[in-house]
A and B are shown apart, each in its own frame.
Chain A
Amino acid sequence: MPDAVVTKGLRKTYGKLNAVADLDLAVHEGEIYGLIGPNGSGKTTTVKILCGLLRPDGGEVQVLGDQPGSSTVRPLIGYMPQDLAIYPDLKVRQNLDFFGRLYGLGGDKLRAREKALLRMVALEGREDSLVSTLSGGMKHRLSLACSMIHGPRLLFLDEPTVGVDPELRFSFWQYLRKLKEGGLTALITTHYMDEAGRCDRVGLIREGRLIAEGTPKELRDSAGCESLEDAFLVFSKRDAK
């Protein structure tokens, strides 16, 4: 099966800053891939390029076999930005309605999809609540549901658990595993090393370059460390040399 995401020598610069530098990446179909790195390592820039929101300055990039941002790719991907990216002055269902209709959904199909997602993110019964009245956790779950409303094949989640309490982070990963079982491919960025352990494969990114890649176990073994956090530090030191 071809890879869902492939980049070769991907580059993006902002003035003199190399946000992404010769990044080679391959995300297999059906896996949860974690792009792990400290703040400012190029994770968000990479995700924005893959979603077609930024134009790369060099290198090759393919998403689901086509150029990112092309009309064939857009309907197949879901994107959850770092911010909640939902409308606080709309009701829960109105948010889902809006994003669903952007993808051409309507009628019974949209209703059924909304119902299933509301159940999945435990927001049943809150359909008519204004988003501004929801708790932080509920807003996070709604944001995820909005990314999923059209049933994407590939989901990009940019730091979805920043500022989220441990309980919610746990349930968030439960949702994600459930979606994976349904055949979804996901690329998730985070700087929480404990979350990296939940991914099928992990790419460690530093200064816009991939410095190591593999399953969490492979990375720990390769670095000879107990934790992924220590492994990251080992790979960072090697890279700095």
Chain B
Amino acid sequence: MNRAIVIAVNILRQIRNDRRTVGMIVVTPILVMVLFGYAFAGEPHDLKLKVANEDVGGASFQTIEGPVITLSLNLGRSMVDSIDSSTFAVTSTDSLESVKQTISDGEAWGGLYVPRNFTQHFVTRGFQIANQATIMSNGTIYHLNLTQLRGMPTDQAYMTAPIDNSNTQVGSLIARKMQEAFNSMIALLPLNLSFSGVIHTDFIYGSNAKFIDYFAPGIMSFVITIITIMLTIVSIVRERTNGTMERILASPARPHEVVLGYMISFSLISILQSCLLLGSAILLFNMTIQGSVVFAIAFVVLYAIGVQGLGTLLSTVARNEFQAIQLVPLVFVPFILLGGIFWPVEAMPTFIRPLSAVIPLTYAAEGLRSIMIKGWGPMEIWRDLVALFVFALVMILAGFVVTKKRASG
């Protein structure tokens, strides 16, 4: 028993003297807990929603007693007012086409269109279904002409909710929230009217999307991240510890050639990985790819180049391969939790979103999702392309600087 304690104390002493390991032991659990807590804190909020409410309001009916009774309602406005303002950031526009275009351009996750005669047609349809023949106005009960009521148009008794379903979680949330808004709007009505199917959902993207369609692009980007970073750090640290890097740098090879050599090899590895990931997603999970496969792979390679540069940079912190492996969770945890792989960035608290914005995986996952589910090309995902290009450029330059520094002492 004594010897076991001696061994235990010896292990703890070694760990205590290795500041990086102590850091890992203390920082990683806190980092994981904090990020998990915030990243999975709740439902998405501030989702952009575009609304076009053309409803003029009012519903008029001819009564058997003579007067035309007009109900002063505007259900379109009531519906818009009932939309959950914590979930959605609502902006207005003037037509269904405009709503769809906004979603199609990726400027909003969803929308709502209320037609011009919605109130009139909705109440009419409600009366028709309820077969209601009486209406109260100023304390007097009036009777409706049922035959005339049945002949009244109801084609605008429906609202349209165009939705970007490329993120199935967000898509189903929008559909649910719209129904909730409708239910609370109906509950406030002085009339007892209700029928189902009033909101027609229209999936702009991802009409047949499954959950795997949403997370597969994120997983692809994540696998590329982890493998490229691990391989780069381990390769460089190994080159350094076994002395081959010194031998290379004493030869006519220049630092930029070393950086370029690493870049080329890891680009080829990432092409192979992308093909394997895409191939298995298509063959095993029947995933559909709307956009260009070649563009998707090229996009992944651009990302891999940046990640490889990040690995080069991180390799300067590690003295040996063991320390190199310890660095991986520090990249792994924030990337997987804040990169929008499983849960949209919109679900994170506002104060943590800037962190997502500086994590390159966010752009890689979002861009790849747009290519694979929405079928977008370079013009549509230019923001993600620029972000990854800047990331790759900065990382290559940083990799070059640290290699040059190593080359010249």
Contact = CB atoms under 8 A, between A and B. Distances in A.
Interface of A: 48-49, 51-55, 69, 71, 74-75, 77, 79-88, 99, 102-104, 146-147
A207 B5 CA distance: 42
Given A53-B409, A55-B409, A83-B241, A74 B247 contact: no
B251 interface: yes
Contact of A82 (B243, B250, B251): B243
B251 A86 contact: no
B247 A146 contact: yes
B242 A85 contact: yes
B252 A104 contact: yes
27 contacts: A48-B246, A48-B409, A51-B246, A52-B407, A53-B250, A53-B407, A53-B409, A54-B408, A55-B409, A69-B408, A71-B252, A74-B250, A74-B252, A77-B250, A79-B250, A80-B247, A81-B246, A81-B247, A82-B243, A83-B243, A85-B246, A86-B242, A87-B244, A102-B253, A103-B251, A104-B252, A147-B247
A52 to B, nearest CB: 7
B246 A53 contact: yes
Interface string B215-244: 000000000000000000000000001111
Nearest to B251: A102
A53 B242 contact: no
Nearest to A72: B252
Residue among A83, A86, A146 facing the most chain B CB atoms (10 A cut-off): A83
Interface of B: 241-244, 246-253, 407-409
A79 B409 contact: no
A82 B252 CA distance: 20
Contacts of B252: 71, 74-75, 102-104
A51 B246 CA distance: 9
A interface secondary structure, majority: loop
Contacts of A75: 252
B404 to A, nearest CB: 11
A226 B265 CA distance: 57
A203 B242 CA distance: 28
B264 to A, nearest CB: 14
A79 B246 contact: yes
Contacts of B243: 81-85
Report, nearest first, the 7 A-B pairs whose CB atoms are least far apart. A54-B409, A85-B243, A83-B243, A81-B243, A79-B250, A102-B251, A51-B250
B250 A99 contact: no
A56 to B, nearest CB: 9
Nearest to B253: A102
Nearest to A71: B252
B242 A55 contact: no
B252 to A, nearest CB: 5
B244 A86 contact: yes
Contacts of A49: 409
Residue among A49, A77, A81, A88 facing the most chain B CB atoms (10 A cut-off): A81
Contacts of A74: 250-252
Given A53-B249, A83-B243, 12 more contacts: A53-B246, A55-B409, A71-B252, A79-B246, A80-B247, A85-B246, A88-B242, A99-B247, A102-B251, A103-B252, A146-B247, A147-B247
Contacts of A84: 242-243
A52 B244 contact: no
A65 B243 CA distance: 27
Contacts of B250: 51-53, 74, 77, 79
B408 to A, nearest CB: 5
Contacts of A69: 408
A179 to B, nearest CB: 18
Contacts of A55: 408-409
A77 to B, nearest CB: 7
A52 B408 contact: yes
B244 A85 contact: yes
A159 B324 CA distance: 28
Contacts of B242: 83-88
Contacts of B407: 52-53
A86 B242 CA distance: 7
A86 B246 CA distance: 11
Nearest to A104: B252
Nearest to A45: B409
A25 B409 CA distance: 21
B247 A85 contact: yes
A214 B291 CA distance: 75
Residue among A71, A86, A102, A147 facing the most chain B CB atoms (10 A cut-off): A102
A147 B246 CA distance: 12
A74 B253 CA distance: 9
Nearest to B252: A74
A162 to B, nearest CB: 13
